[in-house]
Structure 1
Amino acid sequence: MPTLDDLIAEAALRKTELARETGIAPATITRISHGGPTTRVTVNKILKVLERHLGRRIEIEHVDGLNITK
């Protein structure tokens, strides 16, 4: 299973670009990608942008290392 960092790299995005497109702070994206706690809503915002760049659906359950608290 890919990690969030794997998907970001595959989409050829920098975290600052992903942050701009999602409205989520770059530090928050870094924290999430390193296993920090987050919500399902926040992860879904990130995955929607990655899906658009990658041209495919990404299921939250198929991303390794996420620490979803709510």
Structure 2
Amino acid sequence: MATLNELITEAGLRKKELADRSGVDVATIIRIGNGKATTRVTVVKLVRVLEKYLERDIAIDSIEGLNITR
């Protein structure tokens, strides 16, 4: 299992780049990476971009430290 921050690093992205490509605000990405609550919809937006860069499927449930509320 990897954290969101580890996946971002592995993908070779900066949080600002991920924000631009996913449509999720960079402050929100930082909060999610720090374990703050988020929605599944937001995580899906991030994971779709990460999957393209990592060229593999990523199961949301396999990302360590996510706090998905709805």
Q: Flag whether TM exceeds 0.5 (same fold).
A: yes
Structure 2 gaps of 5+ residues are none
TM-score w.r.t. the length of structure 1 is: 0.99
Task: Quote the Cα distance in structure 1 between the aligned partners of 2:46 and 2:57.
Answer: 12
Partner of 1:18: 18
Report runs of 4+ in structure 1 exceeding 3 Å deviation: none
Cα shift at 1:36? 0.5
Aligned-residue Cα RMSD (Å) equals 0.3
Aligned length: 70
The alignment-based identity, stated in percent, is 56
- Relative to total residues, which structure has the larger strand share, 1 or 2? 2
TM-score w.r.t. the length of structure 2 is: 0.99
